Amino acid sequence: MSRPRLPLLLLALALTGCGAGASPAATGPAERLDVATAFYPLEFLAQRLAGDAASVEDLTSPGAEPHDLELTPQQVARLGEDDLVLYLRGFQPAVDEAVAQQAEDAALDVTTVTPLQDGYVPVEEGVEHADEEGLDPHVWLDPEKYADIATAVGARLEQLAPDRAEAIEGRTEQLRGELKALDDEFTRGLAHCERQEIVTSHNAFGYLASAYGLQQISITGLTPEQEPTPGRLAEVATYAEQHGVTTIFFEELVSPAVAQALADEVGAEAVELSPLEGAPESGDYLTQMRENLSALQTALGCSSA
């Protein structure tokens, strides 16, 4: 008499069931990329362009001054594990050093996308930017140049996540369109103004000034912690009075005391103008840039005509 076949059939069914259960895991969603960014404008790009394809960590904490960034040993070591590190060489020495140690192959230096302009620009009547000679890192304040950086970041993300390249490309094109619209708003909004001179506490707005025909006169240089000399303050005060400057701009991450004192001396108002080195308290890069535009239009006496 032959032996019953039922146990063998049950074993075959059990093995088939195990195989069927394993296949979904093999074809499941791709792992997310790990992306590190040096400061807010690069974090904004990474989040907007990567979407759910990446986990993005910004090295600069909210509310911190990115110029002063120091990294912990753990943060430096973690860079060696990231798939992509976005930074701007020369802006944050601690990040430059960490990238050289841990992440050269994974890093994208955005200064390789668009060249930086000189941060030392003479202006009329002998007044100059209170600056050491050097390159101005604040390239993100020109929406057109920022769009070029977005394109490069999107391309790198597509290479790293080819299964999601189509979605990343779509988000990149959408953001480029939004930045083009922002550029158009600034061009129109600053085309008809009573004044073109902007007095700022920190030499951070050179790209914005160059893009839209403005003249920046800064109290301090590329590094906001730099203390102005009494002679420099007197020089800027004289310039402000002679040119009818109504507004002295300060930024959100440093003390407004010097700007306020200068504004009081020349009968002007101290108003915030964000260089977007850190994340805004509400909204994002686009909304904060539009708030900057509104502040500039009021300060410069701009009309829509």
Q: What is the pLDDT along the chain (305 residues), one digit of tens a residue?
A: 444 444 443 434 343 444 444 444 444 456 899 999 999 999 999 999 999 999 999 999 988 989 889 999 999 999 999 999 999 999 999 999 999 999 999 999 999 999 898 875 444 444 444 444 578 999 999 999 999 999 999 999 999 999 999 999 999 999 999 999 999 999 999 999 999 999 999 899 999 999 999 999 999 887 766 778 888 899 999 999 999 999 999 998 888 999 999 999 999 999 999 999 999 999 999 999 999 999 999 999 999 86
Q: Looking up tokens 């069927």, which residue turns up? A: 20
Kind of pairing between the strands at 215-218 and 107-109: unpaired
What one-letter code names the amino acid at 12?
A
CA distances from 145 to 108, 172, 222 (A): 16, 14, 19
User: CA-to-CA distance for 104 and 90, rounded, in angstroms?
Assistant: 15
Q: Look at phi and psi of residue 111 and say left if phi exceeds 0, alpha if psi is from -120 to 50, else beta.
A: alpha
- Domains of the chain, start order: 33-122+137-183 (3.40.50.1980), 192-300 (3.40.50.1980)
Per DSSP, helices labelled H in 136-256 are 143-160, 165-189, 206-212, 230-242
Predicted structure pTM score = 0.86
* 276: phi then psi, degrees, rounded to nearest 5: 55, 35
Angle at Cα 188 formed by Cα 183 and Cα 191, nearest 5°? 120
- Residue 239 near residue 225 (C-beta atoms within 8 A): no
Of 278, 285, 283, 224, give the one whose Cα is nearest residue 249.
224
Of 280, 283, 281, 136, give the one whose Cα is nearest residue 200.
136
Count of residues in the chain:
305
What one-letter code names the amino acid at 162?
P
* 263: phi then psi, degrees, rounded to nearest 5: -60, -45
Of 231, 203, 227, 232, give the one whose Cα is nearest residue 217.
203
User: CA-to-CA distance for 101 and 79, rounded, in angstroms?
Assistant: 9
